[in-house]
Amino acid sequence: MPTITTSDGTEIFYKDWGTGQPIVFSHGWPLSADDWDSQMLFFLRQGYRVIAHDRRGHGRSAQVADGHDMDHYADDLAALTAHLDLHDAVHVGHSTGGGEVAHYIARHGESRVAKAVLISAVPPIMVQTEANPGGLPKSVFDGLQDQVAKNRSVFYRDLASTAFYGFNRPGVEAQEAIIENWWRQGMMGSIKAHYDGIVAFSQTDFTEDLKKITVPVLVMHGDDDQVVPYEDSGPLSAKLVQNGTLKTYAGFPHGMPTTQAETINADLLAFIRG
């Protein structure tokens, strides 16, 4: 399997297919590069070079004990882009991956970056604070950690079956294969990485990161996102970046790149070509 070794000795798995302008995909918690299957194949067939990695502790990357925070996530992504010598890259991040993309660009600069896309993404900050009164109480995320620690297999199955894809909404038919694939990806990773990652995605404040980004940014968010609530995320991020566009999807769930791949892929393509 293709891997790189970061400066702290962590092996990061990645996929790298095709030629042309690179599109780099950063996945959500607690998944892997496989969550981008629909996008990877679509953009490969459109003539792009497509790249996706498993975040440290996730998927096929090393299950290290430490470094499950946004600084390490961003530095790992920087190590990958440097190893592959990517230029003019479009970075696409879903959920936690959106935070990773924002922090990477702010922390490592825009010299290799052409555009960025934040899909159902966690920025600016998820947890409720004095500065972010619309966020979710810290107790919500403490509860997530508790469920991961007690029985993450059951928790992952329940989350994929309900809120993540909106399968708990009236008239929405649950797709068993999608649920099983989500569970498979989650269980491939490390419980320690997933436990720590909840703090990383919920408590990291990306406000200053977003303000530093000058490249064009497309913010895509469903208004029925039950995981990263719309009002405290997408619209705020689009305003904070210097060149942002918000695209809101009526009724779409958190996992819309999978369940609404045709729509999401078409809009991504239009933005990248625009």
Q: Among all residues, which ones are annotated catalytic?
A: 95, 225, 254
Residue positions counted in the chain:
274
**Alpha-helical runs (H) found in 33-95:** 37-45, 70-83
Give the whole-angstrom CA distance, residue 130 versus residue 132.
5
Classify 189 as helix, strand or coil.
coil
Classify 55 as helix, strand or coil.
coil
Q: Are 157 and 185 in contact (CB under 8 A)?
A: no
Q: Are 265 and 38 in contact (CB under 8 A)?
A: yes
Give the whole-angstrom CA distance, residue 148 versus residue 141.
11
Q: Are 223 and 248 in contact (CB under 8 A)?
A: yes
Classify 47 as helix, strand or coil.
coil
Give the whole-angstrom CA distance, residue 262 versus residue 254.
15
Give the whole-angstrom CA distance, residue 210 versus residue 168.
32
CA contacts within 13 A on the Cβ side of 213: 35
Instruction: Sort strands 217-222 and 22-26 into parallel, antiparallel or unpaired.
Output: unpaired
